[in-house]
Chain A
Amino acid sequence: MSTIPKGPRPKHLTVGRIGLYCFIFMCALFFLMPLYVMIITSLKDMDEIRAANILNLPKELSFYAWPKAWSQACTGFVCEGLKPGFINSVKITVPSVIVSVALSALNGYALAFWRFRGAYFFFGLCMFGAFIPYQVMVYPLLKIEDFLGIYSSLPGIILVHTIFGMPILTLIFRNFYASLPIDLFKAARIDGGNFIKIFFYVIIPMSTPITIVAVILQVTGIWNDFLLGLVFAGRDNQPMTVQLNNIVQVDYGVAEYNVDMSATILTSLVPLFVYFISGRWFVRGIAAGAIKG
């Protein structure tokens, strides 16, 4: 080597690097393939789909599947498309997310700072709750909601989502708050804050990153839920996922793959959108749990 080492070390493109990039590129292709098929299929008409060239680009762009999926496709005997499902999903998701995140933040705060008697037991209970599969609780919960008279209703499904979301969210908030310096909380107590005032004036303004993480988890989780929506929402409040299933699973007539594809894409748009706008925050929120801040 004739050059004398000085300044930043030069970067070399090694064979290993090239191999790594190739691998990453192939992986990306592999995972994008279904999306590609979905998009092009949704833009073909039925004749072309029957020609069975699944990977070919459409010869003629046809957009009729999209509005049909949105407002005309039949779910059972009703032919209003996915629109009512979308509205139902919004009606379920928004209150469930707000209630569960707000309550979990409060719980996490109480667990982290106000070491009340039995806090550890409660913490363990949350941990346990976070790992129990839904299915175990579906039937008992159904009986309870029936007893309360909210089974098969909007409040019914909102309550279910709130209950199932809270253990894991409480843990997430508790861990975040436990990483904050305890002196801050002590200072606030000396400055005259009580339980609620400290929460609102000191803790909430510091909770942005972790709240965003919690909201992402809840929005995607609740939006993608199928089982609970099917069981608890009732016929009038079926979420988008349940309606999508009804559209795709036709018992009679022709299976319109282009409509199915556009309906599927429409249903997944909300979680996709959430990930795209919040990716940066998501990473920051996860990191905030690890780094003392």
Chain B
Amino acid sequence: MSMKNSVEVKNISFSYGKTEILNDLSLDIKEGEFMVLLGPSGCGKTTLLNCIAGLLDLTDGQIWIEDDNVTWKEPKDRHIGMVFQSYALYPSMTVEKNLSFGLRMMGTAKDLINEKIKKAANLLQINELLKRKPSQLSGGQRQRVAIGRALVRDAKVFLFDEPLSNLDAKLRAELRYEIKKLHRDLSNTMIYVTHDQIEAMTLADRISVMKDGLIQQLDTPKQIYNKPANLFVAGFIGSPSMNFLKAKFDKSNQNIIVGKKQIDISKYENINNLMNDQEVVFGIRPENINIEKNENSIQCKVELVEPMGADTLVWTSVEGNPISIK
């Protein structure tokens, strides 16, 4: 990955009529980077992607792709390829025609088209499907073709709009792996929109967690998991989600007090900024709680047990705060 920026989103705003969806949002994506836009539905992530693709006109701001201000350019002139959740294959064309449509529109020579289709078909293992119509394909095959259609265009940037959301769990894992491999082999810039945190964590070089049209945190998956920037990110990432305990800080003992229980947080950074008796929210992931019995442990009653094979989830509560333990 180079340090050069491939896509630069500069202070963009977008509104539908009076509803403001994006407001003064900026985002730089490096060359060859796999950037995931993650957030709950309605957070503006798909809108942002459509703005980058040029499918929506900005209310304000600029989009740059490869040092070129493309703000007013048509989608076809932005050197992008896009994969949609609904596959969006042309139903009247065979797989081959679907793949070649963009090239034919550009007036590419026939030999070159055939060569590119062959290459993409090999890469995605869809050689046998070339003569079929989209209606004769399964969901996974359709999405492969849709990815192929983006591939043959030699796009500088690939845009994925929740490409795996319509597939079943098994296929999703399979194609997720292949998209990751594709990125490793091609090392193109990829921007990937999803609401699935597993996809985000596994695929991304960097994740940008979005909510209400704002980027809440932009960092590597590891950082986002270990050092969430705010309560929203902390609660959104991780499954089951992080436990939150309302507590008070006790400066002299470097403890927090939850009801009558005390938890030692002396090893945390930043606790010097806290004042005595300050109200705090203590977050701990279910997988970071150990179940054992000694004089320091907190006692609580098991309310529900959910066995999930590899893990078992235990639900309980501490001083009125529901807690899950993995």
Contact = CB atoms under 8 A, between A and B. Distances in A.
Contacts of A201: 90, 101, 105
B3 interface: no
A205 interface: yes
A52 interface: no
Interface of A: 181, 183-184, 186-194, 197, 201-202, 205-206
Interface in B155-190: 161
B147 interface: no
A142 B60 CA distance: 50
Interface of B: 50, 53-55, 74-76, 80-82, 84-93, 101-102, 105-106, 149, 153, 161
Nearest to B91: A206
B261 to A, nearest CB: 52
B264 to A, nearest CB: 53
Nearest to B84: A183
B53 to A, nearest CB: 6
A183 B50 CA distance: 11
Most B Cβ at <10 Å: residue of A189, A190, A205: A190
A192 B55 contact: no
A191 B153 contact: yes
Nearest to B105: A192
B300 to A, nearest CB: 49
A194 B88 CA distance: 17
B88 A187 contact: yes
Contact of B85 (A183, A190, A192, A194): A183
Sort A-B residue pairs by CB-CB distance and give the 8 closest, nearest first: A205-B92, A191-B102, A192-B105, A183-B88, A192-B76, A187-B88, A183-B84, A190-B75
Given A187-B149, A192-B102, 6 more contacts: A181-B86, A186-B84, A187-B90, A189-B55, A193-B105, A194-B74
16 contacts: A183-B87, A183-B88, A186-B82, A186-B84, A187-B84, A187-B89, A189-B54, A189-B75, A190-B53, A190-B55, A190-B76, A190-B81, A190-B102, A191-B105, A193-B105, A201-B105
Contacts of B149: 187, 191
A156 B76 CA distance: 43
A192 B84 contact: no
Contacts of A189: 54-55, 74-76
B91 A186 contact: no
B102 A186 contact: no
Given A184-B88, A202-B90, A190 B82 contact: yes
Contacts of B76: 189-193
